[in-house]
Amino acid sequence: MKKVLIVTGGSRGIGHATSVLAAEAGWDVCVNYVSNKTRADETVARIKAVGRRAIAVQADINNEQDVIRLFETCTSELGEITGVVNSAGIVEPYCRVDELKYEEIVTLINVNVVAMMLVTRESIKRMSTKNNGSGGSIVLLSSVAARIGSPGLCVSYAASKGAVDSFAWGAAQEVVGEGVRINAVSPGIIDTEIQPKGRVEKAGPSLPIGRVGQPEEVARAIVWLLSDDASYVAGSNLDVAAGR
Ligand code: NAP
């Protein structure tokens, strides 16, 4: 099967690392970003350097027409999509529940939940054998926050990732018989720009393994789930959190 992959939020962090490692594993990659063109172009350059095809596509996955355009552009420029990683996500607001603002809750749920569902819908519409697709693999980024709850820090974020877990499990059962494997990956604390200032330095020593994770350590799990080596893995939720 041809290996054509969309990575939402591929410009930075876990999405960037996934795009580069996937390219090394033979995937052509459509790198999605919302505002950071420079970083998306850098990701594309890293992919091309290992001999794979790559394009950067600006699209706000919180906008339905943008999501459809992202999938159409990838198909027309790189070919039939057989892998999708939904890494785009946001954490803020960092606050207690009694300090939450309505607009902030809506933005968070729209990006982490509604957009994730749109991306999955567009993937299945193209991949499912029921829809004349050739099958494929989808990986949705969740978080261990979904089971920890993240009190005093970001309970609303934790809840948004709880929604990812339920959605991944249910959707996986719907389409696994149609050639589409859906899995979730739940990272612990990973050293990316999503972290509030100082958290990485402070949290490391308190973790069971004594350090935070690197984006590449999550990306390796994602690229494995995308691969045929994971051919009997669907509906799983893989913690990449070193015992947290
Ligand atoms: P990051 O470094 O902050 O990168 C976020 C990425 O998402 C960027 O590429 C950004 O694009 C993109 N993005 C944000 N909103 C978007 C939108 N509306 N449409 C399209 N793209 C959008 O984050 P990260 O740490 O790699 O996190 C990736 C995923 O892993 C997220 O879902 C996060 O919740 C999850 N996760 C992370 C951790 C962690 O500790 N880092 C732990 C658990 C789970 P621009 O560059 O254009 O802004």
pLDDT (tens digit, 9 = 90+) per residue, 126-185?
Answer: 999 999 999 999 999 999 999 999 999 999 999 999 999 999 999 999 999 999 999 999
> CB under 6 Å to ligand 1: residues?
8-9, 11-15, 32-36, 39, 60-62, 87-90, 111, 141, 143, 187, 189-190, 192-194
Tokens of 196: 């509030």
CATH of residue 29's domain is: 3.40.50.720
CA of residue 215 relative to chain centroid, distance: 12
Q: What is the mean pLDDT of residues 177-194?
A: 98
- Give distance in angstroms: CA of 44 to centre of ligand 1: 17
For 4, the 3-state DSSP assignment is strand
Give pLDDT, residue 129.
Answer: 98
Task: Provide the pLDDT confidence category of residue 95 given band limits of 50, 70 and 90.
Answer: very high
Give pLDDT, residue 15.
Answer: 99
| Global model pTM greater than 0.95 | yes
**Per-residue pLDDT for 23 more than 80?**
yes
Give pLDDT, residue 217.
Answer: 98
- Give distance in angstroms: CA of 178 to centre of ligand 1: 29
Give pLDDT, residue 169.
Answer: 98
Q: What is the mean pLDDT of residues 51-64?
A: 98
Residue 139: domain span: 4-240
Contacts of 183 (CB under 8 A, 6+ apart): 137, 138, 139, 140, 168, 172, 225, 230, 233, 234, 235, 236, 237, 238
**Per-residue pLDDT for 124 more than 80?**
yes
**Per-residue pLDDT for 201 more than 80?**
yes
The number of distinct structural domains making up the chain is: 1
Q: Which of 86, 108, 192 to mutate to test the pocket of ligand 1 (most atoms within 8 A of CB)?
A: 192
Side chain identity, residue 167:
F
Can you tell me which atom of ligand 1 is nearest the CA of 142?
44
pLDDT digit string (tens) for 26-46? Answer: 999 999 999 999 999 999 999
Beta-bridged to residue 123, according to DSSP, are none
User: What is the C-alpha to C-alpha distance for residues 183 and 78, in angstroms, rounded to an integer?
Assistant: 24
Give pLDDT, residue 2.
Answer: 86
Side chain identity, residue 132:
N
pLDDT digit string (tens) for 67-89? Answer: 999 999 999 999 999 999 999 99
Query: What mean pLDDT is reported for the chain?
Result: 98
Give pLDDT, residue 5.
Answer: 99
The helix-helix angle for 115-127 and 64-78 (nearest 10°) equals: 40
Q: Active-site residue 157, yes or no?
A: yes
Cis-peptide, bond into residue 196, ω within 30° of zero: no
**Per-residue pLDDT for 1 more than 80?**
no
> Of all residues in the chain, what percent carry a pLDDT higher than 90?
99
Please report, for residues 105, 159, 162, the alpha-carbon distance to residue 147 in angstroms, rounded to integers and kept in the order given. 19, 9, 7
Q: What is the mean pLDDT of residues 79-101?
A: 98
- Give distance in angstroms: CA of 119 to centre of ligand 1: 15
